[in-house]
Chain A
Amino acid sequence: MPKDFEAKTSGIGAPMKRREDIRFLTGRGVYTDDLKIAGQTYAVFVRSQVAHGRIKAINTEAAAAMPGVLAIFTGEDFKDVGGNPAGWLIKSRNGEPMREPKRPVLAHGKVRHVGDAYAAIVAETYEQGRAAAQQLADDTDIEELPAIIDMKAAAADASNRVHDEIPDNLCYDWGWIEDNRAKVEEVFAKAPHVTTLELVNNRLVPNAMEPRASIGEYFPGTGDYKLTTTSQNPHLTRLLVAAFVLGIPENKLTVVAPDVGGGFGSKIYHYGEEALVLAAAKKLGRPVRWTAERSESFLSDAHGRDHVTKIELACEKDGTFLAFRTETYANVGAYLSNFATVTPTFLHGTLMAGPYKVPHVYVNVKTVFTNTAPVDAYRGAGRPEATFSLERVVDQMCRELGLDPFEVRRKNFITPDMFPYTTPVGLAYDTGNYQATLDKVIEIADVAGFEARRQASAKKGKLRGLGLSTWIEACGIAPSHLVGILGARVGLYDAATVRVNATGNISIMVGAHSHGQGHETVFAQIAAEKLGVPESSIEIVHGDTSKIPFGMGSYGSRSLAVCGVAMTKAIDKIVAKGKKIAAHMLEASEADITFEAGKFQVAGTDKAKTFGEIAFSAYVPHNYPLETLEPGLEETAFYDPANFTYPAGAYLCEAEVDPDTGKVTIEAFHCADDFGNVMNPMIVEGQVHGGVGQGIGQALLESTTYDETGQLLTGSYMDYAMPRASDVPFYNVDYSCQTPCTHNPLGVKGCGEAGAIGSPPAVVNAVIDALHRGGITHVKHIDMPVSPQRVWAAIQG
């Protein structure tokens, strides 16, 4: 940590230890599955064992008669309620709206992927539920249909359909920007050099360590429902399950997301299990709980990535970029999860200019239904896919033309004097300094000493390589009016309420949700600095729709850049009202009142009131301007950003390849990031570490593999290679290059996804570089995960 960050002990920029750690470290966190509710019952889902099939009959009689069984639900019970909707309506190149099949609470008529739940048992005990679920599975007649697994084949074969009403299994065929297509073709036709790469962005299972869990309750006395669930955005879940699926009035449903054990995107979405436990709770008049087993998580959580892309780069012989063109197939799985349609489009195609002043870009994405688990946003969401394609093809071009990958990137960077900069794919970057982060990573990685390290590796018979990735992303997705034009069905603001209590301590209710990010600490740091009070007097409240204002939760690195700003705006209102109260109490003009370090003061005098005195007066308004000012000191602000934020950075991976076994070892990983202003450097570092860890997992280890019949071959931790402590190095993280965001008052950009976005291409570039430096020059590309088997096979040619 740089020294100037270490120096501060409180407020903005201090590496404060996390207050939430105390409960997590002592076993006193309260996650959904930790709750016990009197009278609780257990839901067990009956899931399809085939990837594609027609449900002929479900005979519930024997299961219903088993001990402890209280109710059985099938798709028939939910056929008349709503479906779980897609959050974005995407239009195809020809102007047609996307195909949007209904996603039911329980599969009805057909099952469409292994793990697709078509029935649920509710029983007195979990074991009784499991036994009855097995019986029901035995008593269900499903006619197996040919599975549609390969996405290119799915789009080519109109005879076999995931959804009977969608003839070509195509959700949409999207062009971005379609009007640029002809011009890009023209540039390619005349380009002095064209580099082409075909890439797979491997499907990943998010694998938050806490499995999904939900508890439904119904209170007949009031007609209220309560859903306790593993969610990154309780208000969004409430809106979806109440208004869209079950038709419960929003104000009769409380959604609580208590401590949540990681999300990474997979807990943004509303899932059918949440609707089931609520409906079952009402029917039975008892609480109904469900916790996923890890095997269920593998089969039914929304997966991530899964693109097949052809990317072309047109350039001058000196490496000056002329155009990028991509054709991508994106696998959306069997149903549309909530953000499934925006992830491969507006979170991917709009980033396809990278940090480069490339004049022409055209992106085509065909999103395809298959008989696999739904695919949606996973840490980075579209941006890792864009970055991987760009950074791989740039390296390949350098190799083809004999150019230096550092210099080629530098030559093509948007320069600091060019901001604000509008890209050919529709984004307006507000600020950045890509040269600075590249210089910084070269410095901290000791690139000058690489050759000596390479020779040392060579003496051991190992090949050492250096892989660069210069990435950019768009965070804090906004503004609402723009995303509305693009097809969003929600707004993308956030909200916070600051309640100053009569005794002067403060409760801040935020729309953002913390599931590992440390909001309870960081939001308090910011508020403490703004109000001039100690952090210990501030409580951050999140995760309960009955307490917090309508915010959109946490994903897309948006918590501080959107909700944090909403909080500062609410604080501004508190200060403004405090000045009015102080002016009255101090018998001064409001314009003469200053607020600094927790004190309202008449400028140029020693007349002052403390923050606590003002708060007390607001609630005990004996000496108070009641004729012009309401009592109380509580303010809410909603904030809808003017633009995305644009974090960027340069990552360098140093990898060693064992040519005899193909095993890749990450020897060093260096990150130079520009996140704008940093609120808590300790937490920012932790976010980068975690993102890079996941990126290395994608690059080297993680593979979600379905066989041709649609069986998930990697459905447990024995088959799916999660990164372990021994798979990764210490990471070298620097965030001293800071160009604060120009359109939010905190100047923050977001840091949650950066590591997962920037790291996979750096790793793969390092492996290819190692092979080439080692004289193995026939290898152009190796698909992720770059496993020993694949590397060894590539070396053998």
Chain B
Amino acid sequence: MAVAHLPAARPYTGRLAAGRALAGAALLAAVATLPWLSGSDPARTVLRARSADVDPTPAQLAAVREQLGLDEGPWAHLAHWLGGLPRGDAGVSWVSGAPVMPQVGTALSVSLTLMLGAFAVTALVAGLVCARTVFLGARRRLRQDRAGATAAVLASLPKFLLASVLATVFGVWWGWFPSSGWEGPQSMLLPSLALGIPSGAMLGGMLDQALPAAFHEPWARTAYAVGLPPGRIAQGALRRTLPGILPQLLPTVVALVGGAVAVEKIFNIPGLGRLSLDSAVAQDLPVLQTATLALVLLGVCAGIVIRALRHALLGRTLLDGALPALHRPPLTVPSSLRWITVACALVLLALVTAGLLRDPLQVDTTARLLSPSLDHPLGTDALGRDLLARLGHGALRTAGVALAVTAVSAATGLLLGLAPRASAGPTEVVSTLPAVLAGLLIAGVTGPSVWGAASAVCAVGWTPYAAQTAALLEQERASGHIAASVALGAGRLHLLRRHLLPSVVPALLRNALLRLPTTVLVLASLGFLGLGEQPPTPEWGRLLSENQPYAELAPWTVLGPAAALVVLSVLAVTASVRGRGKGA
């Protein structure tokens, strides 16, 4: 672990580049060997993709195998594909026989445009979420801590549900925007909102927590005292805190290029997420590899840009190791916080107790899609199962698995983030990788399993935490008190325990808790690969996805699970604020 005292931003481009190349190469190799790892014959999946009702006779399979040159093994194929790349030739799709490059190029440009739209919304929402703190902080009127409940509520809105609702309300009912398609800027608004609102709330929530420390610094007091306008002070505070948040853009916003499959489906957007999922399911390797390469390159480029932006914002102070550490001022915890926490806890407790007393698996086809009543307080689903029972029975499993996955991801991220030079490359590469792809790789190796979904999410879920740890540590190491501690003879372990970790962990915790609902949904999204709990086991993410088609016909089928997810998220976030309040 490289926790030594170093001038933080000493260029280590060489190692970074090596890390990126290595991680990218490992990922591409894994993708290229996917069919061989999983032992599922690509000839079969390709044949099926080409023609749904064709019988997979040995002769037909042999014909496909020969056509694709499958008998030569993965490496010959990979070498051939790599050989074509310098000429801009990524081969032809195994399924369609069409050149891969134009397909991936078009899909990538569509996804990039969508991502930019989502980024604009993210920035806007993040700005709104921390507007109050900025306003008060710049006027030195920041006394109370914030619960962050609004951010938690917005961040826990499932993107696909938001997308469904937006498409129905603005597309179908009011007809203001096209409900699907990708035919001009007017098609961009709804999907951008669906993707941007939760991301914006997540980033805004993190920024909102970091800001008070910046306003608490001496320069802000001085600036206020000499009468600088609040706008300038706010600008300074943002410049001070943004570098810590910027790396989150990579796994939160840039990752939408490949990871917005659900929203792409709902709005029928021909983006890279759908293309890579389809090609992964059909094991259309040339397309899948090229799409993965595009995502890897995108991740690396975005990583470089973000790094440059951070350094530009922090400026010389980072290089000179003269960055003062950020410390949160002691703020009073608002009294409403306790009520919110208690109310959320009570609601969840009531839900679980009431739910556990009922049968979550009892199918009653005569009672399908009943609206809430005394018999079924939260209504029933399409099979007449009691939703309260399903929510209650699913609560512990859902929360438990999501918390465990988040904890493992956060711990992994923290450890890797402590060695930023080694981990920066892999972080950038894995950031943009959709969890589904990791799921496919894992399903290929282990076969369907209950733990497969959790491992797949852990495999890609650590990147936000690694990026955050690395960024915060870089800033922390550049601060004067570290130099002082070292001068006083502090060892590495002491530095780590007393200075570095305390500066990173609270922010990391906030990040992890804000990401909790997303984790629940991503876990459920891997179900179609046979990963995770199989139906009919109740589990919140599955409840949401299996009831999504009924969102308009029977809104209660999704409102219950979505509300439960929101309550869980608010409880987690507010409880952490209370914990912090007590600790301070």
Do A and B form a real pair? no
Residues of A whose CB lies within 8 Å of any CB of B are none
